[in-house]
Structure 1
Amino acid sequence: MTPDAPAPEAEWFQTPTLTGRQVFLEGLTESHAPDLCAGADDEMVRLLSRGGPSEATPAAWAEYIGRLNALPQRINFAVRRVESGVTVGRISYSEIRWADRWVEVGTMLLPAAQGGAVNPEAKLLLMARAFEVLGAGRVQFKVDARNARSLRAMHKLGAVQEGTLRQYQVVSGGYARDSVVFSVLRGEWPAVRAGLEARVAALG
């Protein structure tokens, strides 16, 4: 059940462990760097909105994680497989606006974790916390207009496409990317949740 009032602001910045069937989420730390480094590829790193590690080494990934964790109004979770404990990505409240009762969710998954149950279950866990624990009225997403896979995932999720922020963010290499904005509102969440649960069950 979604609370009628938002949880205290401090609770929105906590990183509890959230456990599903296939994956669990925990606070992202430098200890997750080796798995991320081992599974990443150049295309995945190229599309990271905050830039990526300076080189393909665990130390550079650890430094990148430190930079992410230092950003204000943001908290980051590692995505880990339940059976093996291997870290297969990162999912974040990449922007938190407690006063306005919304969060933005951003996801980075290693290539080996794409296309299965990991993405829908990680989003299910983080969106359920936003709507049902924190009392958010809106969850939004910004997707690089070049990222066809992520755009398809947003439509499959059932999020509403609101528009495109043109040349919104300068990313690695000086490219000014267009960001496509999607959202799910509190009243839309039950249908979106049902869809995510069905996908996780079918893919699991």
Structure 2
Amino acid sequence: MTFADSPVLENARVRLEPLGQHHRDALAEAVAVDDLWRTWVTTVPAPHDMQEEIDRRLARQAAGEIAAWAIVDPASGSAVGMTTYLNLDTPNRRLEIGSTWLGRDAQRTGINPAAKLLLLARAFDDLGCHAVEFRTHWHNHQSRAAIARLGAKQDGVLRSHVVWKDGTLRDTVVFSIIAPEWPAARAALMARLDANA
């Protein structure tokens, strides 16, 4: 088992499958709703770029750089988003959960926290991580709030960190959950999912 593996992970709310080209059409449909791919504060592939984005992620996974999943709604059996483990740091037992997006119809359905529960459990319980990071755009208030609801704490802001797709400079907000915090974060996530069952 390595940090770059992407086994099937599932619970009652979501199934994470190893990303593949067979997810392409459903993912292209998901980003087309309300032109999600045009969102300024995050990077979501355009429908016509989905094949290329899947190929890019799979090439990075083959190189041992990331672990890539399709987020599948078990009710419909359709892929509704993507997520990855990034910045894999096996010697220091750290990784980042990121490059995540969900189609509009899957947002606020419990799919995201259910997926994060699976990813965090794999990171801490199976891979023995000391810390799991989350990073987002300073102006992505929806993402920042969602990360905080997971139990992550804000570590800081990397100012002028990345040249963004429109040429502006992105300030990156860094959050993390560390291993001693995981039991409480897990309990809170499970209670949240139970309350919305």
Matched, 1:34 2:25: yes
SS of the residue 1:165 aligns to: strand
Q: Which runs of 5+ in 2 are unaligned?
A: none
Distance across 1 between alignment mates of 2:89 and 2:25: 32
Q: CA deviation at 1:47?
A: 4.6
Q: CA deviation at 1:157?
A: 1.3
**Code of the aligned partner of 1:142:** R
CA contact under 8 A between 1:31 and 1:62: conserved in structure 2?
Answer: no
Give the corresponding residue for 1:188.
181
SS of the residue 2:161 aligns to: strand
Q: Mean Cα displacement is larger for which, 170-179 or 117-126?
A: 170-179
Distance across 2 between alignment mates of 1:42 and 1:146: 19
**Code of the aligned partner of 2:54:** I
- Please, what TM-score do these two structures have when normalized by structure 2? 0.90
Q: CA deviation at 1:176?
A: 2.0
Give the corresponding residue for 1:173.
166
Matched, 1:89 2:81: yes
From 9, 14, 17, the counterpart of 1:23? 14
Relative to structure 1, the CA distance from residue 47 to residue 133 in structure 2 (aligned partners, 3 Å threshold; closer, same or farther) is farther
Q: What are the superposed Cα offsets for residues 73-130 of structure 1, whole Å, 9 maximum, x if unpaired?
A: 2111111011221111111102210011001001211111111210100000000000
Matched, 1:146 2:135: no
**Code of the aligned partner of 1:27:** P
Distance across 2 between alignment mates of 1:109 and 1:175: 24
Distance across 1 between alignment mates of 2:91 and 2:81: 29
Q: How many residues align?
A: 191
SS of the residue 2:47 aligns to: coil
SS of the residue 2:193 aligns to: helix
Give me the CA root mean square deviation: 1.7
- Please, what TM-score do these two structures have when normalized by structure 1? 0.87
Q: Which runs of 5+ in 1 are unaligned?
A: 1-9
Give the corresponding residue for 1:164.
157
Runs of 4+ in structure 1 deviating by more than 6 angstroms, as ranges, are none
Question: Counterparts in 2 of 1:40-189, with a 5 A limit?
Answer: 40=31, 41-47=34-40, 51-53=43-45, 55-57=46-48, 60-71=49-60, 73-106=65-98, 107-189=100-182
